[in-house]
Structure 1
Amino acid sequence: MSADRSVSRRRTSGAAFAGFGRTVSEKERALWREAMSRRAQEAFSRGQAALQGGNISLGLFWLERAERMSRTNPNLKWAVGLACLSAGRLADCLLRMRELRETYALREAAFLEVLCLVRLERLDEAGCRMQDALSRFHATPETHPIADQIAAAGGRLGWMTASNNGTLLIRAARPVRLLLDGQEVATGLKDGVHVLSEGWRLARQLEVRSGRRHVLGSPLDIAALTRCESFVEADIDGLTGWIWTPAEPEHVPQVTLWDGSHLRAEAFAQDVDSDIPLARNRIFHVPAALLPPGDPGPLELRDANGHLLTGAPVDPLTGRLVTGQTGGLAARFQPVAVRSGMPRASGLRASPGCAVVIPVYAACSTTMACLRTVLVTCPADVPVIVVDDASPEPALASALDRFAEEGRILLIRHDRNRGFPISANDGIRAAEGRDILLLNSDTLVPAGWVERLRARLIQSDTGTVTPFSNDATIMSYPSVDRSNPVPSLREMRAMDRLCRDVCGDGAGTGGDRIELPTAHGFCMAISADCLLEVGLFREDIFAQGYGEENDFCLRASAKGFRHLAAPELFVAHVGSASFGGARKALGARNLQILNALHPGYNQLVKCFIKADPLHETRRRLDAAALLRLAAGRPAVLMVQHDAGGGVGRVVRERSAAFEAAGELALALRPHATGCLLEHVSEEKRFPNLKFSLPRELPGLLDLLRSLRVRVVEWHHLIGHAPAIRTLHEALDIPCDIFIHDHIWFCPRISLCDGEGRYCGEPDQAGCEKCVSRWGGYLGEDISISGLLARSAHELSSARALMAPTDDTVRRITRHFPGLTIQTIPLEDDAELQADIRAARPGLSGQPLRVCVVGGISQWKGYDVLLDLAREIRAHRLPIELSLVGHTHDDDALIALGVRVTGEYRENEVQDLIRQQKPDVGLIPSIAPETWCYALGQVWRSGLEAVCFDLGAQGERVRKSGAGLAIPLGIPAFQLAAILMRKWGSSR
């Protein structure tokens, strides 16, 4: 039950495990990602080939393998969903289509979701989903029959669909009326195609009805149907970009240029990096010869709805800027070196007052939630300035009008969408020289946020201030390197109280002055002095946004202003989907511009991230949050390795029992410089409790004492710093040990040599010879005699010893006589075996299907599996092998005809076993395991198991009689003969 790592035929060492003094390098991560991508692509290609050959079952097997290897790839999810539909696995197809529709608003997924529901005879749901799909997407001819069926089944008048070319298809049982935003524009319309009136795109809703009865798909959301995804940038040859209409990808969109001329985007792009599956971006190009001469400034390009393309207005000269051809460029493009300015003299400043500026565009409910928190928390003397950047949502515009009429906000409204930088500047100008609190409209603010930000602006050299948030890059909390969940209003307030209690009230009460490379624009306090001296955000090159606040801050830094963190304040950031599929492209483009304007910017940020000056603050916050969670309960600290597997599962299960008993379950994992303390059931909630050892050992001990840890429970010490071995002594508390493997006397852990043979547990000299030749996994320089002596001392000093099986107890006590070890089985074997089918001959003429489960390393039986596959291939035996899991060399097995599913999640394993339709399970481990969760999975699936007669696997099979324990070392042909004799065909 040790860490399941692949063992190659070479000398190995503790470097195989990440931990103290050893971390996984970026190069290693890149190589792993490359290998996984290659394997996923190979599996995808095999799956496609099988489907094209008419073998749906095999094709689906390979596609699902690819999907598990690349779980975030929506294109794979789409391909697997289609294959599931072909295979009749409608529920699996429905699940994938629903996820694609919800995540990406994917038209094809929306209509296939309807099809699945119809075939599953869930017609009420199908009707609801069809109504939603027709009201948002153009329906292709392939979907018309199912629309007919659903309309008839639901007793509807009929159905409708509209196209971006201005036509409307109606299928109705009697004449209907057409209304745009409630105004009748046509009546007596019958079945057929109708041309919509000029200007229909300007309306919000299109209705097709008779009396009050709507046809299916009415009312139509015109904004959803006509929405364009787009992007434009300048290069040395002119302007290039892409555009498409997700609700009707076959529509050829049109780009309106700055002079009113039009450009059709007909050709499909081949290399656009898009997160949206089935994206059909169409490219366009405006040659440099067609651009206005000289320095025309930013040029506007718009879609058919009059909306600016993402990235527009675009200045053609930025193409020269980012390619380094800056000779002769205007002064506004001259680079400003990072940190070129002299520090300013610091002193107290008198604030000219403060104003909140909030640019808004869409997302009515999110924006209104933000405004409600702002309006109840702003002091009376702080005006709230809202800039409506031509919102396309009438409900939002009306709500803003009401607030303005009530005098609660100062409203500025654009007649057309102009982007975040211009909107922010308009709000700042309206503030008339005050300090500015610039706020995104997708934030939630707590009480006292204005006062705490202003307290940070009291120093004359402070230019900007940024608080903590769940989504704010370098100012994110709790995790800075992965996504945090979006907090609710209640959770935001609790998080803010934590920040305020731990970090004080800011600079005015002696808070730390932690300097940032730049502010983050989601919530950014800017001093009036800084604005006066530096100017506003650049409106000419950053288009809708991304990078404008960084550019402002770097210009401010050049003048000596500082950018401070406000860790005493937490502002929730919902995070928007602005810019849709162009988000990455716009961010990449603007980052290029930013680095060209400010050479050294990337390095500045990298240095900040490496130094991580906010780590100690985040750790104090995590510690305080963990203490609040503990609420005075006693705690158990479980020490484990960082490899997951069976050890991780045991720790999770024991932690659940401790928590149920009213105790706090903590775990200690190793990392490169020391250890990470976490709450077992919420391990992602406290990512900053990292301690460098031995330097920060006193701080770790203080925290553990505050948490009232009553016992340290060892599960695995591999990868840990030496100080962890004596942690319980430093805390003056007992230590219990749960024995998971044979690391106590075997530096190779598995009792196998480097050639994959069980060692037989030789004497000390034999162990020394084995380790000298093949290396060990301890990651420390210790002899066999030293290891035995240390283990004897630690085991005998423990308050309690536990092991999963009697076999494990016997092996440990043979090396360390006199120990009392309690046997604690990790699963209820009787319960696992409740549904086992008795051995019976397979069907005549059908091959015997043998299923292996788990991550199969060499000591888990990889060579056994490989030899068996060779034997089957060489003699054309009627046996099919499948592996629900993975190995270090799947390709060799696959080449011999073994079906290898790839890695799985715990909740997937039973479905994967059932999909193989197996007759018997095989546990090929050639080392004595201390437990075997794979055996439990085999039994749970209703199969008997074959294993070698050693270790936990042999003990459990022999005791239960639910399978067969065979002698270790029998050749592959004998293993095949045993399998066929007991479980094979009766022919």
Structure 2
Amino acid sequence: MIVYLRRLEGLFQRFDRARPGIPALNARARLQGADGRDVARLERALHERRRLAVSGQSEAPWVELRVGERRTRIERPAGALGPVPFALALPLEDGEAPEAAVSAGGAPVRLRFPPRWRVQTMRGADFAWRMLRLVPALVGWALTHDPRHRGTVKRMLDLEGGDRFGPLPHDLFAPAPPDADLPPPTVILPAHDGHDLLVACLDRLARHTTGPWRLIAVEDRSTDPRIRPLLEARLPELGAAETHLIAPAENLGFVGAVNAALEAREAKGWDGPVILLNSDALVPRDWLPRLLAPLADPSVASVTPLSNDAEITTVPTICMRHDLPPGAVDRIDAALAALGPATAEMPTGVGFCMALSGAHLAQVPRLDPAFGPGYGEEVDWCQKVRALGGRHLGLGRLFVEHAGGVSFGSETKRRLIQRNHRTIVARYPAYEGEVNVFLEDDPLRGPRLAGALAWAGAVAPEGVPVYLAHWLGGGAEIWLQRRIARDLGRGRPSAVIRVGGTARWQVELHAPTGVTGATTEDAGTVAALLALLPRRDLVYHCGVGDPEPLEIPDLLLRLRQPGDGLRVLMHDWFPVSPSYTLLDASGRYRGPVGAGDDDPAHRAGRAALAEWQAAWGRLMEAADTVILFSEAGRPILERAFPGLDPARVQVRPHALPDPETFRVLDPPRAATPEAAVLGVLGNVNHHKGADVLDALSAEGARIVVLGEVDPARPLRRAITVHGGYAPSEIPALVRRHGITHWIVPSIWPETFSFVTHEALATGLPVLGFDIGAQGWALRAAQNGHPVPFGEDPARDLRAALAQLQEVPACAG
């Protein structure tokens, strides 16, 4: 009973540490500038374990965070338009109760936090409720040790990182809806300068617009003398049934220009839908019937397509604009055109390319002149029409390129956005909350993900990496995130197929602007999505935790098309055995395993190890390369797959830590083995040596763990558990805890062991078992001390420590 209570206590401690921090009671406060006007707003203020962090939106020249006498400030980026995000943080000591304030030029706002006891009480209640709901998963784990149940516990308690997304719509790849039977639409095209983009806009209108349509263009007193002659010459050539050019005597601005066109439309007696089209919008083939189709529903007031710069309909990442390479719009749109209905209700349309219902336009026939030259006028119109029952849809099966806001200079645009944003907030107080809900839920996630994948294929024609990865974190996930970041730095996006989550599959697209993703239960849908990439570099990264792991090799082989690359990365030994650490049923490592081994730990349900290795062997033999991260892995791979061509196997160690970052200057020293303080880097569980640490502690060893401890295998209370750390903090933590030696207590043959290399880089003596990659690294290092791995690992480690006698803190 005591053991279970300790496990429960350890689980709650991890749950508590994983909370996002204590939010300030006034975390949504507004900040004033020197003139007393609201210039910024807080959106988040958290008292985390070792830091205070705030973030929000600001129009101020700077925002400052102060904790006691410590200050940090962030300046507004030069040329930024409208409210821009800010984020500030200051470090805290453990248990520090911060006296903090945030300011933006005016009176500081002092942050107020609830009492710690109240927070702990609420978290305890939350933890108890979650544990009650987890009873089936906990029982399943106790009976079967199935990784699915363990993953469920971690997800329910928020103990795993990563982005999480909702499900794909069931009709994403359903047949497209029929065209709408509507009167001919009127395209309204205001133009002000931007000659080259206007030429491109008109060229695409002429080539790609089908069916009957009308056009009203407004030449809004451009400073470029080429604009009016261009419109006069090109309008008759566009293929519209009727065209009309308005050339006002003075500049009207976008709102005035649109209203003038709407008045002209009424005067001509033209009915039917209206399409507002910016002069920098580049339409694809057959765009018009797709844009109009949702208006067949009389409740729909407006329709907005996806784009590269259209706020909540932006691809690949919501609300994050970016430029497209030439021709990308057509490749992206061709992928989206094959989707099903693919619509979602939105709080507003986006006016760069927006279809308006004729019936709803009759209810609100003009844009509000209060919005002056432009920006926010479509939000105002949409809110008025919503109040009358109209709905606004985002359309996922059409992509229109928005080449940029060319109608106004950047400073003018910034002032307009600031002013008009304040007007919208004052008129429609619920609007911002509705937008935030849309951003969190992203009901357009399906077509947005499809568009993001098509975008990735357009910007990386040489091939997009597609990783099959798990949810369990650890060193493999660190490697993956670093590799994705490296590729993004080179302009190359990446896709990830996640397994082991609540849903069978999660597909993610990582772009420089963020991550877009969605889940599905259907492998066919995964294949259909990834088929949007014309060329893929398929990478098996790690499949631990997947409920049907024998399906993974066949899925990757099914996804591979001619010209695709295929690599297998051995971050662990999962392709070798369901026991990915190679520990047997007694929890021991007994050497490499082959098809003839019949230990229960190496079975997957009814599938024997021979069946397992045959399935994974097909993937290994088809791969271009199988990558090990240490020479120590070759014997293990050769035993499992004796027919694998050795030429396909490559050893590519990870980048080693920078000694200047990790080296400990003037480290603590131990005059005798008894005085040693043994440090352990990284998280600890059974295969990471929890039994070894407990045995050493029971003999009086002083041990400090810099990492987390698996609640299912808590350590003795005498062992100090520091918790998570950043690699750059290691030298300071060594001095803080008086660490004199490192031990690497892992009892499985690691495939690389980041923590072994980090420990060696500090210069302190490092002891660990002479198995796997950790043993290989210890043998190669001057301050490494490999220990034979016998029947009693803790005894072997104690003996090795005793043999060191008086060991200097920096060996050699």
- TM-score where L is the length of structure 2: 0.56
Indicate conservation of the 8 Å contact 2:64/2:103, yes or no.
no
In structure 2, relative to structure 1, the CA distance for the partners of 1:585 and 1:683 (3 Å cut) is closer
Which among 942, 945, 962 is matched to residue 766 of structure 2?
A: 945
Structure 1 residues 351-390: aligned runs within 5 Å: 351=186, 381-382=217-218
Give the conservation status (yes or no) of the 8 Å contact 2:459–2:492. no
Contact residue 678 and residue 704 of structure 2 kept, 8 A: yes
Answer with 1 or 2: which has the greater Rg.
1
3-state SS of paired residue (1:463): strand
Alignment partner, residue 743 of structure 1: 574
Unaligned runs of 5+ in 1: 1-7, 10-30, 45-71, 82-95, 117-128, 134-223, 225-243, 253-267, 272-342, 357-367, 386-403, 412-423, 596-600
Give, in angstroms, the shift of residue 35 of structure 1: 4.3
Q: Describe the shift of the 1:946–1:637 C-alpha distance in structure 2 as closer, same or farther (beyond 3 A).
A: same
Question: Which of these residues, 387, 409, 413, is aligned with residue 252 of structure 2?
Answer: 409
Q: CA deviation at 1:749?
A: 0.8
State the match for 1:963 in structure 2: 784
Map 1:282-681 to 2 at 5 A. 346-349=181-184, 351=186, 381-382=217-218, 407-410=250-253, 432=263, 446-448=280-282, 456=291, 463-469=301-307, 475-480=313-318, 485-487=320-322, 491=323, 494=324, 498-499=328-329, 502-503=332-333, 515-518=343-346, 520-523=348-351, 526-527=356-357, 529-533=359-363, 551-554=383-386, 567-570=399-402, 590=430, 612=444, 615-616=446-447, 619-620=450-451, 622-630=453-461, 633=462, 639-641=468-470, 643=472, 645-648=474-477, 669-671=497-499, 672-674=503-505, 676=507
For residues 129-164 of structure 1, the C-alpha deviation after alignment (integer angstroms, 9 at most, x for no partner) is 99x99xxxxxxxxxxxxxxxxxxxxxxxxxxxxxxx
CA deviations 1:514-539 (Å, max 9, x no partner) are 54424624435545542223678999
Q: Structure 2: how far apart are the matches of 1:352 and 1:813?
A: 67
Q: 2:722 aligned with 1:900, yes or no?
A: yes
Please state whether the residue corresponding to 1:855 is helix, strand or coil: coil
Q: Distance in 2 between matches of 1:640 and 1:245?
A: 43
Query: What CA distance in whole angstroms lies between the structure 2 residues aligned with 1:849 and 1:438?
Result: 71
- The DSSP-based 3-state class of the residue aligned with 1:886 is coil
C-alpha distance in 2 between matches for 1:959 and 1:80: 38
The letter of the residue matching 1:810 is: P
CA contact (8 A) 2:302 2:349 kept: no
Matches within 5 A, 1:151-230: none
Matches within 5 A, 1:709-858: 714-718=540-544, 719=546, 721-722=551-552, 723-727=554-558, 731=562, 737-752=568-583, 756-758=587-589, 767-770=598-601, 782-792=607-617, 794-795=619-620, 801-817=626-642, 819=644, 821=646, 822=649, 824-827=651-654, 842=669, 848-858=676-686
SS of equivalent to 1:926? coil
The residue type equivalent to 1:939 in the other structure is: L
> Is this contact kept in 1: 2:468–2:543, CA < 8 A?
yes
CA distance in 1, matches of 2:346, 2:488: 43
Q: Following TM superposition, by how much is the alpha carbon of 1:934 offset from its aligned partner in structure 2, in angstroms?
A: 1.0
Q: Measure, in 1, the Cα distance between the counterparts of 2:179 and 2:561.
A: 48
Is the Cα–Cα contact under 8 Å of residues 100 and 106 in structure 1 kept in the other structure?
A: no
Change over 3 Å in CA distance of 1:975–1:554 after alignment to 2: same
SS of alignment partner, residue 864 of structure 1: helix
The whole-number CA distance in structure 1 between the counterparts of 2:769 and 2:260 is 79
Aligned CA distance change for structure 1 residues 771 and 581 (closer, same or farther; 3 Å): farther
What is the CA–CA distance in structure 2 between the aligned matches of 1:930 and 1:251, rounded to whole Å?
A: 51
Give 3-state SS (helix, strand or coil) of 1:348's partner: coil
Q: CA separation in 2, counterparts of 1:732 and 1:355?
A: 46
Deviation at 1:348, TM superposition (A): 1.6
Instruction: Verify the 8 A CA contact 2:274 2:356 in the aligned structure 1.
Output: yes
Question: 1:13 maps to what in 2?
Answer: none
Letter in 1 for 2:678: V
Contact 1:638–1:667 (CA under 8 A) maintained in structure 2: yes
Cα contact 2:220–2:257 (8 A) shared by 1: no
CA contact (8 A) 1:425 1:536 kept: no
Superimposed CA distance per residue, residues 512-564 of structure 1 (whole angstroms, 9 cap, x where no aligned partner) = 9754424624435545542223678999xxxx999866654545656x99775
Q: Give the whole-Å Cα distance in 2 for the aligned partners of 1:501 and 1:374.
A: 21
Structure possessing the higher relative contact order (Cα contacts under 8 Å, 6 or more residues apart) = 1
- Equivalent position of 1:932 in the other structure: 753
Separation in 2 of the partners of 1:934 and 1:506?
45
Contact 1:856/1:887 (CA < 8 Å) preserved in 2? yes
CA contact 2:632–2:773 (8 Å) conserved in 1: yes
The change in CA–CA distance for 1:979 and 1:889 in structure 2 (over 3 A counts) is farther
For 2:587 and 2:302, how far apart are their aligned partners in 1? 61
Q: How much has 1:924 moved relative to structure 2? A: 1.4
State yes or no: 1:881 paired with 2:704: yes
Matches of 1:582 and 1:811, distance apart in 2: 65
How far 1:925 moved relative to its partner? 0.7
TM-score normalized with structure 1 length = 0.47
Matches within 5 A, 1:864-875: 864-869=692-697, 871-872=699-700
Shift of 1:809: 1.8
Contact map agreement 2:592 2:636 (CA 8 A) in 1 = no
Task: Give the counterpart letter for 1:590 in structure 2.
Answer: A
SS in 1 for 2:752: coil
**Alpha-carbon distance, 1:952 to partner:** 1.8
- How many residue pairs were aligned? 620
Distance 1:648 1:607 in 2: 24
Change (3 A) 1:40 1:860: farther
In the TM superposition, 1:239-250 aligns within 5 A as 247-249=105-107
Q: 1:370 to 1:587 in 2, by over 3 A?
A: farther
Change (3 A) 1:500 1:944: same
Runs of 5+ unmatched residues, structure 2: 5-11, 25-42, 77-82, 84-101, 115-177, 203-214, 222-246, 266-272, 370-375, 406-412
Displacement of 1:862 in angstroms is 3.1
Matches within 5 A, 1:677-692: 687=516
Q: Is 2:219–2:248's contact at 8 Å kept on the other side of the alignment?
A: no
CA distance in 1: counterparts of 2:664 and 2:459, whole angstroms:
50
Percent pairwise identity: 17
How many Å apart are 1:947 and its aligned residue?
Answer: 0.8
Change (3 A) 1:74 1:585: farther
Shift in CA distance, 659/832, structure 1 to aligned 2, threshold 3 Å: same
- Of 90, 104, 109, 2:66 maps to 109
Listed as ranges, the matches of 1:686-705 within 5 Å are 687=516, 694-696=523-525, 699=528
